[in-house]
Amino acid sequence: MKLHELTIRKAQELLRNKEISSQELTKAVLDRIAQVEEKVGAYITIASDSAMKEAMLADKEISKGNIAELTGIPVAVKDLICTKGIRTTCASKILDNFIPPYDATVITRLKTAGAVITGKLNMDEFAMGSSTENSGIKLTRNPWDLTRIPGGSSGGSAAAVAADMCIGSLGSDTGGSIRQPASHCGVVGMKPTYGRVSRFGLVAFASSLDQIGPVTKDVTDCAILAKVISGYDPSDSTSVPRDVPDYPSFLTKGIDGLRIGVPKEYDTAKGLDPEVLAAVTNARKVLENLGAQCVDVSLPNTEYAVPAYYVIAPSEASSNLARFDGVKYGFRDKDSNNLMEMYKNTRSKGFGPEVKRRIIIGTYCLSAGYYDAYYKKASQVRTLITEDFRKAFEICDVILSPVAPTPAFEIGEKADDPLTMYLSDIFTLSANLAGIPGISVPCGFSSGGLPIGLQLLGKHFGEEVLLKTAYNFEQATEFHKKKPEI
C-alpha cells in the first residue's frame, strides 16, 4: 500500500512503530495532490510549506514518545473553517484574500492532537449548494467519474479523501453537506448531533443547522476524528456541556437485537433511483443477517422538510451574510462614489448567483408582514419533524434510509434548475432540522460504477450507536475497499 492510501488508524500504527515518519507521509500526500489536483480540483489552498514544518515538529514529538491521537497525520479542512495564517475563502470572491487572525476551535483541537494541516478544500460558496458547482473559485470533479459532481457543499472534502489527497478531512453539514458528498464519493461522512462539535470559527451559513464533522476512508477513522473534534466549548453558545464518549471503543462486532427503523415515507420518495433503492434494501438485509431487527416507523412530516429548510436556512443566511459589506474585511468595490453604492456593488460583485438567491429568499421571509407566514410557520414544522423522530426512536435505535435519491449526476445537469437541486437533499435535511446525528457509509455501486451511500440516523448524542452499526455493516461488506482509478 502506498503511503497516501493509508487510513488514519494504519498511519497511527506505522508512525508509533517508527516504520514511517510524518515527513515521509506528508510528502507522499503532497505528491499525490500534485499528481491529481489538476483532474479533481479538491483544494483551494495547498499549505505545503506549513504542512512540512508541522510534520517535522510531529517527528520530533514522536521521537520523544509524545504521541497524541493524530500526531503526524495529514488532514485537510473545508474552506469555511478559520485557520490562522492560512487563507479562508468560503469559495467566495468576497473573501478571496481573507486570512483569519485566529483558529477555529476544531483546528485548535486538530493541532493539539498533532495533526498536520495540508490545506483548505473546495466547496459550494458559503456552503450553499449540493454539487460544489456553486464555488466562486473552481470546479471540483468526482474522482470516480470526472464528468460528474462530487456532491456538496463539502465536495472538496469528500473528493480529497476518495482520491487519497489527504488521510482524512473535515466538512460541515447544514442540510446534508457532509453525508451527501460522502455518498457520491464512496467514503464515510458523519454529521454529529447539533452542539456536539464547536462552531466557533466556522463561517456561519445557518447558525441553528450548521455542524462540523469528519469525512474519512472508513468508519474507524471517522470515530477517531469525531472524538478529537467533539466536546464542549465555552466560546460557542450552542455547544452542549456533555462528556464525549471514546468513540473508537464502541467499534466492536455484534449488533444482535439492534432495532432499525425503516420509514415508510422514504420508499415512495419522489425521484428515488431504483438502483439506490436496491442498494439500500440490500444493506438492510445485511444488517438483518447480522442480528438487527427491522421495524416500520413513520415520519409523517417528511414531505415538509424541504420547504421548511429552504425558509429557515436562507433566513439565517440573510442575517449572517449581512456582515460581508466591504467595510470590515474581504473584497471591497473601489469604484463606488458613496457608502450605499459601495455596499451594493461589493455584494453584487462579491457574491455568486446561488448566494444572492438565498439572501433574497431569506430577506423576504424575514420581512415585515411575511415573518409569521414563512419563518414562524417553518419553525413550527421543524418542531413537528423533531417530534416525528422522537416518536420513531421510542421503537427503534437507529433509522435507515438512502442518503441521496440518485448517484452523482453529471456536471451542469441541474445547474439551471435550482428546485430539482434542492429536492436532492430530501433524505438528509430532516436530521439538521431535528439536530440529530447521521452517518453515510458506502453500501453499493450503480450499474455505471458510481458509489451509493447508506444513511443511518440516531438519537441526540447517539453517535456511538451509529458508529457501531456502520462499523458492523462495513466489516460485513467490501464496498469501502474499492478505490477510484485516477
Q: Which residues are catalytic?
A: 78, 153, 177
Contact 316, 379 (CB under 8 A): no
Q: 358 CB contacts (<8 Å, ≥6 apart)?
A: 128, 313, 314, 317, 318
Contact 350, 336 (CB under 8 A): no
Number of neighbours of residue 372 by Cβ within 10 angstroms: 8
Contact 258, 472 (CB under 8 A): no
Q: 447 CB contacts (<8 Å, ≥6 apart)?
A: 275
Residue whose grid cell is 495532490: 33
Handedness of CA 304, 307, 310, 316 (dihedral sign): negative
3-class DSSP state of 461: coil
Whole-angstrom distance between the N-terminal and C-terminal Cα of the chain?
16
Tell me how far apart the alpha carbons of residues 444 and 324 are, in angstroms, rounded to a whole number: 42
H helices present in 125-263, as ranges: 155-162, 179-185, 219-229
Tell me how far apart the alpha carbons of residues 67 and 80 are, in angstroms, rounded to a whole number: 28
460: its cell numbers: 441526540
Tell me how far apart the alpha carbons of residues 467 and 286 are, in angstroms, rounded to a whole number: 16
Spatial CA neighbour of 439 closest among 410, 472, 408? 472
350: its cell numbers: 462579491
∠ CA 234-158-259, rounded to 5°: 75
List 145's β-bridge partners, or say none. Answer: 142
For 182-198, b/e burial (b = at least 16 CB within 10 A) is: bbbbbbbbbbbbbbbbb
